[in-house]
Structure formats: structure tokens, C-alpha cells
Structure 1
Amino acid sequence: MRSKTVFMITFFIFSFAGYGKQCTGHFVNPITDVCWRCLFPLSIGNIKVVNASMPDTENASNPIGVCPGPTGLRVGLNIGFWEPMALTDVTDTPYCLVNLGGTRLNLGLKQGRGGRHVVGNGQQRAFFHVHWYKYPLIHWLNLITSVGCMQGGDFDIAYLTELDPTWQDSEMSFVLSPESVLFGNPVAASACAADALSSTLTKKPLDSLFWCAGAQGTHYPMTGHVNATLSPVQTALLLTERMNYKMHREFLLSDSSPKSGAICKEHHYSVTPKSRYRYELVNQVADGKHCYPGGLSTLAWEAGKIKPHTPDQYGFLVWRKRSCTFL
């Protein structure tokens, strides 16, 4: 009886261990895993109060702003800073929540595993799922108390591509984004070299080339399929940027604006204002000291960030420029 019990315990341990290897990751530590210097530069109007090595985007021209309030107009300071606003999982295993400690959801829906593979002509291709989390870290830590100057609410899973059939089917995705005919071709992709060069030299992508993801490739088609992958980190960053673009196209994300008359509230844009976003690797190996503009080649910083004998599962922290009137 005792030997049978020992056998059953051993069986369950190894069963769960094998299952766990399909989904890995760790919880993001907001103190050690987050690059807090990526919060800067901090500006009041167009005057830099705290400088940073990373370039800034356009700020309000006037330091004083007037915004409507519940009891009439209110006067405040027009400020600009960068806020951590979202987390993403990029995973080869469906429903694997990398940034939640490698937890795997069981929704009773069976889906095949993705990952990288080589097709008949020798070209490497890949397919990954992406999860988008709402991550209002500034609100949690109470670093800024003005409601108009931070993302409120709670931590939440905002998007699971496993539940989106267009993420897996290019033809179905075309129905929602027919413009992919114009931008998802080699001619349009060749223009992305200029975007990659701008991200490398000036640390700012070109917003005018909205369909480009710089050195990573293009945002089209808006699916989880990637051709000619160079590295798993590059593929993961491309799909994070593509997911950001997809959510803007579906008006699920909003952005602030430094323009006079527009700074008081957020606005929806049909494409991502790329220069107002930064990305930081937090899983499997958290960086904690650097964030990077969209479109910058991962070859410059991915050394030591790929764990051997580990599934292709990564997590990114998304930073967004916040322009607001501090009341």
C-alpha cells in the first residue's frame, strides 16, 4: 500500500512538472523589474524639469492649462511624462499567462501550440498568441494624484488573442483590415528601412510610416503569423507592437495630446502614435534598467535575454507618453 502511494505521488509530481514546463514566467516585481528612469523626461510646458537619456516627444507649448471641471473651469500645470500602462504576454502555448507566474488558464477550449517552425522552402516562420493586460502602476503606487494625469482602474486582462479568430486566420483578418493589401506587401515593407534607421539613430520611430515596426517588420497582416523570424525576442517585440497597433485600429486604446484644447482628455487614434510608446522586456529575463523605442533592432540589447531550454514565452511592459493638465 505504501509503495502504491509513493508511486501515485511521484506520478502526479512528474505529470504537473511536465505540464508546467509548457508555461513559464514570473510575476513582474514593480520595484526591481520596472525601469523607473523610463518615467522621464518630465516636462512642465515645453521646459524640461527632469532630463533623461531617452528623447522626448512634443510637449505643451504653455505651462499653464485650463480644463473643465465638475464645478467649472480649473487652472493647472501642463505636464508631460512617461507612464507604464500595459503588460503583454507573447507565448507559443495558448492561455499561458507569462506575466502571472506562468499560470495557464483552462477555459475548456483546445487550441494547437504555436512557436517557430521551418517550412518546405527552408524559411522560418512563427505563430504566437498575445495577451494584453491593463497595468495602471502609477495609480497603484499613488505617485501622481491628479486623475487626469494617470491611467485609473484595476489590473485586468484586456485582450486574449486565443478568443479572436482573426488573429489566427489571415483571410478573416483581411475582412476587418482590407488596407493590408496596400501595406502588407514587399514594396510597403521596404519603406520600413527608413523607420528602422530613425529608431536607431534618433531613438524615435517615424509616425508617418504608421504601418511599419522598424527593424522588426510591419504591422500587417494583423495576425500572430510572422515570416522570416530572426530571434524569438524580435518576434515577441514585433507582436507586442502589432498588438498595440491592432488595439488602436479597433479603438480599444486612447492616447493623450499636448495640443492646446486637446490636452484635457484622451483621444482615439486609428493608428498608433509610435513615437509616444516605449517597450521594456520583463519576462523571461527582466531588464529593469532600460526601455526602448518601437522599431529599434533587438540585436542591440537581447544578449543574455534568451533562456536556453525554455519555451518561447516573453513579457513586455508598455510605456506611453502622458500629456495632461495637473489640477
Structure 2
Amino acid sequence: MNATASALNLSAVAAPAVAAAAADVPGASCSGRFVNPITDVCWSCMFPLTLGSIPLFKGNKPDTPNPSSPVCLCPTTLPPFVMIGLNVGFWEPVRLVDVTQKPFCFVNLGGVKIDPGVGYPAKSSRSSDGVANRSAYHVHWYIYPVMYWLELLTDFLCVERMTFDIAYITELDPLWNDDHLAVLIHPESLVFANPIAVAACSVDCAASTAGHVRNEMFWCAGCQTTMYPMTGNVSGEYGNVQGSLLVAARFAYKMHRQLLADGTSGPKASCRKYKMPIMDKRQYRFQMVNPVRHTTGPFTCPAIGVSSVPYESGKSFPIKGEDYGYLVWRKRNCCVTVVP
């Protein structure tokens, strides 16, 4: 984290003090609150809990593909050079993410604003060019291993054992603040920058909302439109909840593309995490925790691409500003040792 932050800080010092497309939000104040790791978490989002392909606790959320066998064999460096275990799958809350139009507004840290005086300025509030609404957001990405803190499933070696930290701040990242520079990390976006590819995302929207995320359509964010560019600039936004979810999904994809996030789901992840430069959209769920906590009901913890229309009413407060916080749930498949 320190190396990443240092690199981004050096880039920000060299970056222009004012971004041409950014405009300050007049009279805006940072809003938010601390996330309660017990009452603000939708604990039913931890399910399904599986043993191989067998559901132990089904829950009411769609799942990702699991290993077919309940037994796993993983190579080790010590005799007998193989670990025998059980293939376990579950969902784990591991990250928090701020999505805000105000620089250095830490929504999930109580709405505190800490401006070091460097980096990119405030993002623009919603505007229209006569064709589509346009907005832009900054993102803050936190390490937030709730299950480890509360000692839930502590016998599972695959539960993330880390401490709370601020892992990434986009105000210091020129690639997040410039669509043209961002192409450096996703040149394939030039292939999908056409009406046909964008229109195809309507299929992903319908499938995601029905509980079947189309991972082969990796360039789509379902009902939130497209994953490209991997920046905070959103065109065609119809609502703040939809726009903030799109930005959160794009940033997760960006973390994978920069090899700062790993693949943790599916048979391939049973023995160890692996690098996943093209993110598996099925691996994540985003639960709103700011400005309101969304912990109950059929639409909690939506997967990437699911329509926000059924639940976004009452989740936005324009008077306070467009400051959102999400708890990031990640699917984890792992081999739990039963024989040393």
C-alpha cells in the first residue's frame, strides 16, 4: 500500500494543479458516517456457503461457480508435498469504498475532509450536454476485513487477516482523472467504443438483474452501462446511485488491471489466489452503507450490473451532496485443511 501511495503521490505532484474537465462543487460539504461493523453489515450476504458444489446454507443470493468436488488437493513445499482439505466457498466483506464528487471527502470515516493541497480538484456535479447527463467521481478504497475482526470463520485459512487501511486514493492518480491516459491500462477499450458493443450491454443488464451475470461480456457493467473508461467520468448517468455503483465497479476492475486485486473465486482459487487482469464480475457484490445502510430486503448486496431502480428510492440526498459508501463483498473459494 505504501509503495502504491508513494508512486501516486509523485505522479500527482507532476500533474496539473487544475484538471480542465473538473469543476468545484459550490457550497458542498462532505457528508458521511462511520460504518458499524455489526449493525451496518448485511450478514445474510455471506451466503451461499458451499462445500464443493453442495450448498450448506443457500441464502437468497446468486452464487459464482464452485469446484465440483468437496475434496481438494493442494501442493506444498514440505512433505508429504500435498495438502488434503475441503473445498469451501463463502462471501466475505473485505473492502469499503467511498464514491464522492468532493476531493478527499472520506465518506466512510464519518464524512471528514482531509485536503493535503495536492492532487486533482473536485469533480463536476451532474451536467448535461444536450445528449446525456455527465458526472464525475473520486474513489477511496479501504481494506476492511470484518470477518477477521469479529473472529467469524477464524478456522478458515482463507479468511483475509489484515488490518484496516486506506489502500488507494484517486485524487492522486492521473490515470483515474483523464480518459485518454486511462487507455494506457486498458487499450482494448478502443475495440468496444462503438454503439453495437454498448447496446449489447442491455443483454448483460437483463441477465444480471435476473441473477445471471454474463461474465463473458466483461466490457459491460450491466444496467450501469460500460466498464470503460476505467475512470470516474460517467456519461449517461440517470441517477446518483446508478452512477456511484458504476464508478465502484470500474474501480474494482481498475484494481485488477493494475494487479492490485486478485482472483479469489472458482476452482482456480481453491489452493491460492491468482492474478486476474480481466475482472470476473461475478466475484463482487456492493452493499450500500452510506448515506443509508441497506441491510434488509430482497435487493441488498447487488451484483455488478443489477438494476438499481427497484431499491434506489430514498438512498440519495442531493441537499447533502453525492457522497456514497459501499461495503464490498468478495466471493472466496479455498481449501480448508483437514489432513496436514
**TM (normalized to structure 1)?**
0.89
User: In 2 relative to 1, CA 271–142 (structure 1 residues): closer, same or farther, beyond 3 Å?
Assistant: same
2:311 match: 301
Matching residue within 181, 185, 188 for 2:197: 188
User: In 2 relative to 1, CA 130–315 (structure 1 residues): closer, same or farther, beyond 3 Å?
Assistant: same
> Which deviates more from structure 2 when the two are superposed, residues 169-178 or residues 108-117?
108-117
1:178-207 CA distances to partner (integer Å, 9 max, x unpaired)?
Answer: 212112332211110110010112x13110
Structure 1 residue 288: Cα displacement: 1.7
Matching residue within 90, 95, 103 for 1:86: 95
Q: Give the letter for the 1:316 counterpart.
A: Y
The answer on whether the counterparts of 2:185 and 2:258 sit within 8 Å (CA) in structure 1 is: no
The answer on whether the counterparts of 1:180 and 1:221 sit within 8 Å (CA) in structure 2 is: yes
Residue pairs, 1:115-126, within 5 angstroms? 115-121=124-130, 123-126=132-135
> Does 1:36 pair with 2:43?
yes
**TM (normalized to structure 2)?**
0.85
2:222 match: 214
* Whole-Å separation in 2 of the counterparts to 1:41 and 1:141: 20
Matching residue within 98, 119, 133 for 2:107: 98
The answer on whether the counterparts of 1:257 and 1:267 sit within 8 Å (CA) in structure 2 is: no
* Whole-Å separation in 2 of the counterparts to 1:265 and 1:20: 48
Q: Give the letter for the 1:226 counterpart.
A: V
Q: Give the letter for the 1:255 counterpart.
A: G
User: In 2 relative to 1, CA 316–267 (structure 1 residues): closer, same or farther, beyond 3 Å?
Assistant: same
Structure 1 residue 69: Cα displacement: 4.8
Number of matched residues? 307
User: In 2 relative to 1, CA 188–122 (structure 1 residues): closer, same or farther, beyond 3 Å?
Assistant: closer
The answer on whether the counterparts of 2:120 and 2:172 sit within 8 Å (CA) in structure 1 is: no
The root-mean-square deviation of aligned C-alpha atoms, in Å, is 1.9
Structure with greater proportional helix content: 1
Structure 1 residue 152: Cα displacement: 1.8
The answer on whether the counterparts of 1:204 and 1:293 sit within 8 Å (CA) in structure 2 is: no
User: In 2 relative to 1, CA 259–308 (structure 1 residues): closer, same or farther, beyond 3 Å?
Assistant: closer
Q: Give the letter for the 1:224 counterpart.
A: G
> Does 1:75 pair with 2:84?
yes
Matching residue within 33, 46, 63 for 2:53: 46
Unaligned runs of 5+ in 2: 1-25
Residue pairs, 1:217-232, within 5 angstroms? 217-232=225-240
Unaligned runs of 5+ in 1: 1-18
* Whole-Å separation in 1 of the counterparts to 2:77 and 2:113: 44
Structure 1 residue 325: Cα displacement: 1.0
